[in-house]
Amino acid sequence: MPNTRHLPDDLEPFLGTLAQLFAAEGRAREVAILTIAKSSIEETGYDNWNGGTYSYTIYAEVPAALYAQLADERLNIEKLIQEKASDLLRLYPATWLGGFEIVPELNIDERWREKAAAWLSGKGITNQGRVRSDNIATRDCDGLLFRSQPEINLYKALKSLGVSFAPLPVFIKGGENYRRIEPDFVVFKDGVLMVVEVDGDTVHQETPSRSAFAYHYARP
């Protein structure tokens, strides 16, 4: 059995196993967080009952933009990851996971004031890639958000061809049955509109019916 003192050194395989377990359940959001985060573990408590039990907390630092996307879902995500991590921690005797906390990564950009001022003036504001909290868009290319490298590859290919297209656009249907959807790509070519869904390297959960919804409301 692993020794509790070795737990911090074993954090990467520990998190990797967690990501595999969530991937098997189709939970792309949790997989994305475990993959993107810069994680660390600290001993945050000790109870000498029954020979002694060490309590640890895992801190997952994520980019500020991703942290903001999590919004009200963050506490639920932390609870879900902590529960599964606690089950896995049974491999380590006399060890208890006291918490899993998602925190924003500290900004080290020396131009942050300049960029913040540009944002206040309206530059760079977008709703692209920000709707679906169950499959978070964590990758950036040319200031746009994507969920996988294959999506970025398709983006670059369409861009090089000079085709008009929208990556991860947000479509809204108003009225009593308010709905919104975010297809991977909407492509416009020679008077034809097409919705493209990409099977990427994260768990894909879009359905044909939802894509058809986006196509219907994207048509001129």
Give me the average pLDDT of each 10-residue run along the chain (220 residues).
51 89 89 90 80 84 84 89 87 80 87 80 64 68 83 91 87 74 86 84 48 46
Give the CA distances from residue 128 to residues 11, 69, 143, 184, in Å, rounded to whole numbers and listed in that order: 34, 12, 10, 10
**What is the reported pLDDT for 216?**
47
Give residue for tokens 């656009």.
169
Provide the pLDDT for residue 27.
Answer: 87
d(CA 116, CA 120): 6
**Residue 84, SS3 per DSSP:** helix
Q: What is the pLDDT of residue 134?
A: 62
- 171-173 and 38-47: which strand pairing? unpaired
pLDDT of the residue at 220: 47
Q: Angle at Cα 39 formed by Cα 36 and Cα 45, nearest 5°?
A: 150
Residue 108 burial class via C-beta count within 10 angstroms: exposed 0-12, middle 13-18, buried 19 and up: exposed
pLDDT at 218: 47
Give residues with Cβ within 8 angstroms of 203, minimum separation 6. Answer: 23, 26, 27, 28, 31, 135
Q: Measuring CA to CA, which residue among 13, 127, 108, 26 is closest to residue 61?
A: 108
